[in-house]
Structure 1
Amino acid sequence: MSDRKFNLVTDPWIKVIEKGTNQEKAVSLIKLFQNAHDYRDLAGEMRSQDFAILRFLLAILTTVYSRFNANNEPYDWLTIDENTMQVSQSVDEDDYDQEDENDLLDTWKTLYQNGNGHFTGIVTKYLKRYEDHFCLFGEHPFYQVTESEYNQFVPTKKQIKAGKGPGTVAVKQINRQISESAHTPAVFSPKAGEFKNDIKLDEFVRWLITYQNFTGVTDKTKIKTTEKFSVSRGWLYQLNSVYAAGNTIFQTLMLNLVLMRKGKMYYPQKPVWEYESVEDYVNKRKEQQIPDNIAEIYTSWSRILHIDWHQGERPTIFSAGIPMFDSQDAFIEPMTIWRIDKKSNRYKPAVKWLQSLGTAMWRNFGQYVNVNGTDDMHEPGIVEWLNLLKNKGIIPYNSHLTLASATLVSDGNATSQAPAAEVYDDMHINADVLFDKRNPNYWPKRIEDTIELTQIIGKDFWQFAMKIGQIRNSDAAPFANRLSSKFYESLNEPFKAWLAHLTNHDDREREIELWKETLRKLVLDAASQVIQASSPRDIRGLVDDKGIVNNIFTANNHLRYKLQVDLKIERKG
């Protein structure tokens, strides 16, 4: 099988939805960048897979347009090697100034506003220069190492001999729709047992990129290092992702194309394929230093993989863990929300867990925007970037932005970190609302206050559900949690619609009152559904120590009272 050929640059492997036909098709890297405006969205097997591939595409664009402008010319303040197309001399901090930042912003503006909806020829030229690194087979196999390189990195007893060795993972394990190990069969799988390891090359490439980003910790093989390290999960597994979604792939790529960080030094981009050798890359990873550039963090490996195709259509995949850099204060990563770690008092990505699956993005609005302007909150880099574009007038102030999240959530088991759920969510908001100027009518603060009020009402409903559970002599807390979860699900679409229609010209009080009215109706509707399903026991109720009857009607009356007090609106109905 060594004579097989498949190259990501020229062979179709990226699944997209055509804008004109709404049909799915596969395209190569060159075709995607040449016709990005013609495709509505990525259309891989999973949203999290699309997210991993989006970042891979952005690594290419960030690398190219941080070196070349929209006219395919190197920036005057950079020295570019004509052969490698890489920055050949480091940029001195004293020489990098506002004008250089403006050059990068001008490139972004020209690309975004040129109306063609595709990227310039320099991207194709770059891809052809590194074409051999995007070949699935050959001397520089894509996202892999050769057998000799693999054996060089791992202990002797873990080496590959005659095509066999320990530390293998099956196709059905890197396929995150299945994620089946040798010891834990996946019962609810999209493929039957005998076909779980069958895969076509284009799909294999998509899962290869995804697996490097969403790797569990079941591996027993690690590379040799002087200091011990624990096998780490993939980098994206450690994030609660956020990115900007556009109406086309071109818009999505552009909105997430972060070419500079305001007030930060210029660092040359270094995607994994630009390292002189795999050995250089692995040695760099042994240092466990946070990358100083976006392309490197977007293409970070969690494993060295050697893929042997000599057994036929089903490859043998050898995997060895490599050290992962620390996630604390890794602000070069723009696509995550952050939280303060109480032990270290440093920022860490706010990982999503199974316990928070039902919490929609809008309920954590304050994690995306520094509502109070305090030092204990760090905005996601992508939000800072969009704010910069808006403040510079590069995107219109009334642009409708979509912040989205595609997250693969692990089972929380420290010894496996196997995928347990996938969560996709989004929220739509006008740029002039999200990035409103700070004043008494500052929209983000008013929105956050409204969300806090909504959470209070959610607690009122939970207490109502608790009383019903107690009357029914059931396990009240789980019952209340189930009803509460269903209630919040009913809030998601109405709140997102309310958020999306806000503008900076609105009367804040009037808009908030409209939401409060909507919220009150939704609460009463939810309570009404419970009452309609009431039993004689619910109506009869319980008598407390003071001889007071507590039944479903008294619980409902108390809920209505709480609504009147907390919402501070006229009692209706």
Structure 2
Amino acid sequence: MTTAEPSFDLTDRPWLPVQFTDGSERELSLLDVFDQSRGIRRPAGDLPTQDFALLRLLLAILHDALGGATQQVSAPADVGEWEELWEADAPFAPVAGYLERHRGRFDLLHPREPFFQVAGLHTAKEEIFSLNRLVADVPNGDPFFSMRRPGADRLGFAEAARWLVHAQAFDSSGIKSGAVGDPRVKAGKGYPLGVAWAGNLGGVLIEGDTLHETLLLNLMAADTAHQHFAEADRPAWRAEACGPAEATDLAQRPYGLRDLYTWQSRRVLLHHDADGVHGVVLAYGDRLEPHNKHPYEPMTRWRRSPAQEKKRGEALVYLPQEHDPAQTAWRGLKGLLAGQEAGTTQRDEGADRLPPRIVEWIARLATEGFLPRRHLIRARVVGAQYGTQQSVIDEITDDGVLMSVVLLHRADDRYGQAALSALGDAEAAVRTLGDLAADLALASGADPAPGKDAALDLGFGSLDTPYRQWLRDLGAAPDPYAQRDRWRRRLHKTVLDLGAGLLDDAGLAAWEGRVVDGRTGPRWLNDTAAELRFRTRLGRLLTVAPDEPADLPTARSVPLESPV
């Protein structure tokens, strides 16, 4: 009798957690995910960053499978081909045959070419390390605040596969295992080379009502302007299996989206028995420097870095714009609306910021009529923030904003500008609320900073749901200017009510008041003076012209409420 080699085939074994449109959750195989994509709401992994990594894996499969036997530069080839997929009854049909042809490279336990791993990877001392190095929700050395206590001693094959994909995308930096055969290893250790590729990004993806829509919306055509595609582009499973050392062709890569979405940032080998995975060897893999990768990576914003330009001696250097975990997605809307944000206009010396190319792709679909103007999408933002020299994940950002694609329309920017103007209204009004809190603190003899920060948090928190609802409905409004006027009226009332609450809580000391230093010299400040200043400023900010667009200055504009 012979013993069969162990196998865990990701093409037909359940391992991908998904949430269905009815709210239920289940693990599916790769074949089932594509087959049932119309009934799936979204991936439902262990972390939002895992969802991001898994979706990029599915996109790499889809791009490659749709390329057919000719393996064209990328599929779909152009926006017309994309439209055929969007309207087709079974656009993902080629995936089943594709996965069958490459089944061996999707085996997690394959003895020679294990999925996303390096067969035979080992250290000089033949060490096997804890799975805490692979599982991102276990902070190394700090298990008491983890979802797992005391650590990840063993994983089932399905869960191990998910964390493997996540590690290739979001693994932290720090000292790694020193793999035999890697010339970068010193004294048996792999010294820090930075986080895995997606960890550099302020990730942005576009979600539809179902996973089927989400995959198609993020399936950029090869005729997308300024997006790099090359004939050599291929996913990791169609490339030669990695060894311990860095790949020799990194100077020419990434070749395209398939290469980038399956980038092998790490060299990994899972150690297992018949019941699951019990250990790992995890070392550094292929480096990918983040500067000036905007022609390759579509799922992030980019910021110009004068400091790096000076350091590197280059005329233009763009770096990924990471997310601020303290800022909600709607407050970062100006960075998502392609071409609408101040500073994104291309000048002779280069733009200060570049929007995500995936958003520009949706803008193209909207402008050229491939998506209805009122079609709703969710711009989801996902990212990891690293601490202690990027050796641990400190925070994970996950948020989204629902809006009609007309906000991205290049030929009709009225809706996008209305959304940004309304956002500016909100920010200005909340700053006025913060100033009121600072004045009340000064009037009572207290430090103004804590009260002001608390008022800013209160203001933005109170506007979170109203703005999201207003933004969702903006695309269906016949007149975006009138819609903005409605927002300003609601904003005025909301912030005025919040200010009244601060005044009610100000206390006796603020009522009595005191002399404070002002810009023009000493002045008397109490709650009455603070209220007058607040109401006056708020009224001036939130004026509505009855006969003209609200974002155009006019002498006939009058305050919504007269100053008291």
TM-score, normalised by the number of residues in structure 2:
0.84
Show the counterpart of 2:560: 570
Using the alignment, how far apart are the partners of 2:522 and 2:264 within structure 1? 67
Show the counterpart of 1:143: 116
Using the alignment, how far apart are the partners of 2:456 and 2:304 within structure 1? 28
Task: State the shift of 1:280 in Å.
Answer: 10
Asked if the contact 1:362–1:427 (Cα under 8 Å) also holds between the matched residues in 2, the reply is: yes
Task: State the shift of 1:360 in Å.
Answer: 2.0
Task: Establish whether residue 405 from structure 1 lines up as the match of residue 367 from structure 2.
Answer: no
Change (3 A) 1:315 1:366: same
Letter of the 2:415 counterpart: W
Using the alignment, how far apart are the partners of 2:368 and 2:75 within structure 1? 12
Using the alignment, how far apart are the partners of 2:220 and 2:119 within structure 1? 33
Task: Establish whether residue 332 from structure 1 lines up as the match of residue 296 from structure 2.
Answer: yes
Show the counterpart of 1:56: 57
Task: State the shift of 1:35 in Å.
Answer: 1.3
Unaligned runs of 5+ in 1: 69-73, 75-79, 81-85, 92-99, 152-157
Show the counterpart of 1:198: 154
Task: State the shift of 1:246 in Å.
Answer: 0.9
Show the counterpart of 1:248: 210
Task: Establish whether residue 370 from structure 1 lines up as the match of residue 339 from structure 2.
Answer: yes
Q: Deviations over 1:319-367 (max 9, x none)?
A: 1113422212212111111111122232211012xxx322122222232
Show the counterpart of 1:8: 10
Letter of the 1:188 counterpart: F
Asked if the contact 2:167–2:196 (Cα under 8 Å) also holds between the matched residues in 1, the reply is: yes
Using the alignment, how far apart are the partners of 1:59 and 1:175 within structure 2? 23
| Alignment length (residue pairs) | 518
Using the alignment, how far apart are the partners of 2:34 and 2:263 within structure 1? 22
Asked if the contact 2:329–2:401 (Cα under 8 Å) also holds between the matched residues in 1, the reply is: yes
Map 1:306-385; keep pairs closer than 5 Å: 306-309=269-272, 313-330=276-293, 331-343=295-307, 344=309, 345-352=316-323, 356-368=324-336, 369-371=338-340, 374-375=345-346, 376=351, 377-385=353-361
Letter of the 1:41 counterpart: R
Using the alignment, how far apart are the partners of 2:266 and 2:148 within structure 1? 26
State the secondary structure of the residue aligned to 1:349: strand
Q: Deviations over 1:155-190 (max 9, x none)?
A: xxx4253xx26xx4x323422222x21xx2132222
Using the alignment, how far apart are the partners of 1:467 and 1:247 within structure 2? 46
State the secondary structure of the residue aligned to 2:247: helix
Asked if the contact 2:64–2:75 (Cα under 8 Å) also holds between the matched residues in 1, the reply is: no
Q: Deviations over 1:381-426 (max 9, x none)?
A: 1112112222333222331222111222223x3252x112222211
Task: Establish whether residue 419 from structure 1 lines up as the match of residue 393 from structure 2.
Answer: yes
Show the counterpart of 1:210: 166
Using the alignment, how far apart are the partners of 1:26 and 1:482 within structure 2? 42
Q: Deviations over 1:180-216 (max 9, x none)?
A: 21xx2132222221x5323222111111111221111
Using the alignment, how far apart are the partners of 1:34 and 1:280 within structure 2? 36
Using the alignment, how far apart are the partners of 1:101 and 1:562 within structure 2? 54
Task: Establish whether residue 428 from structure 1 lines up as the match of residue 384 from structure 2.
Answer: no
Using the alignment, how far apart are the partners of 1:254 and 1:488 within structure 2? 34
Using the alignment, how far apart are the partners of 1:305 and 1:266 within structure 2? 28
Using the alignment, how far apart are the partners of 1:24 and 1:505 within structure 2? 36
Task: Establish whether residue 496 from structure 1 lines up as the match of residue 468 from structure 2.
Answer: yes
State the secondary structure of the residue aligned to 1:309: strand
Map 1:450-461; keep pairs closer than 5 Å: 450-461=422-433
Using the alignment, how far apart are the partners of 1:323 and 1:498 within structure 2? 45
Task: Establish whether residue 388 from structure 1 lines up as the match of residue 364 from structure 2.
Answer: yes
Using the alignment, how far apart are the partners of 2:288 and 2:229 within structure 1? 21
Using the alignment, how far apart are the partners of 2:451 and 2:39 within structure 1? 48
State the secondary structure of the residue aligned to 2:395: strand
Using the alignment, how far apart are the partners of 2:424 and 2:248 within structure 1? 45
Change (3 A) 1:296 1:466: same
Show the counterpart of 2:144: 187
Asked if the contact 2:204–2:299 (Cα under 8 Å) also holds between the matched residues in 1, the reply is: yes
Change (3 A) 1:532 1:12: same
Could you say which structure has the higher strand fraction?
Answer: 2
Show the counterpart of 1:40: 41
Asked if the contact 1:436–1:504 (Cα under 8 Å) also holds between the matched residues in 2, the reply is: no
Q: Deviations over 1:102-144 (max 9, x none)?
A: 854343222221245x611x21111111111111112211111
Asked if the contact 1:466–1:480 (Cα under 8 Å) also holds between the matched residues in 2, the reply is: yes
Asked if the contact 1:436–1:444 (Cα under 8 Å) also holds between the matched residues in 2, the reply is: no
Show the counterpart of 1:257: 219
Unaligned runs of 5+ in 2: 310-315, 544-558
Change (3 A) 1:564 1:113: same
Deviates more, 1:54-63 or 1:529-538: 529-538
Asked if the contact 1:231–1:323 (Cα under 8 Å) also holds between the matched residues in 2, the reply is: no
TM-score, normalised by the number of residues in structure 1:
0.83
Map 1:290-301; keep pairs closer than 5 Å: 290-301=253-264
Letter of the 1:6 counterpart: F
Task: State the shift of 1:17 in Å.
Answer: 1.8
Task: State the shift of 1:313 in Å.
Answer: 4.5
Letter of the 2:19 counterpart: I
Which of 167, 170, 175 is 2:135 aligned to? 175
Using the alignment, how far apart are the partners of 2:372 and 2:530 within structure 1? 50
Task: Establish whether residue 108 from structure 1 lines up as the match of residue 51 from structure 2.
Answer: no
Change (3 A) 1:108 1:102: closer
Task: State the shift of 1:262 in Å.
Answer: 2.6
RMSD across aligned positions (CA): 2.9
Letter of the 2:198 counterpart: L
Using the alignment, how far apart are the partners of 2:490 and 2:339 within structure 1? 27
Deviates more, 1:387-396 or 1:305-314: 305-314
Show the counterpart of 1:77: none
Letter of the 2:256 counterpart: N
Task: State the shift of 1:484 in Å.
Answer: 0.8
Using the alignment, how far apart are the partners of 1:186 and 1:101 within structure 2? 44
Using the alignment, how far apart are the partners of 2:396 and 2:528 within structure 1? 39
Asked if the contact 1:222–1:322 (Cα under 8 Å) also holds between the matched residues in 2, the reply is: no
Letter of the 2:132 counterpart: K
Change (3 A) 1:225 1:446: farther
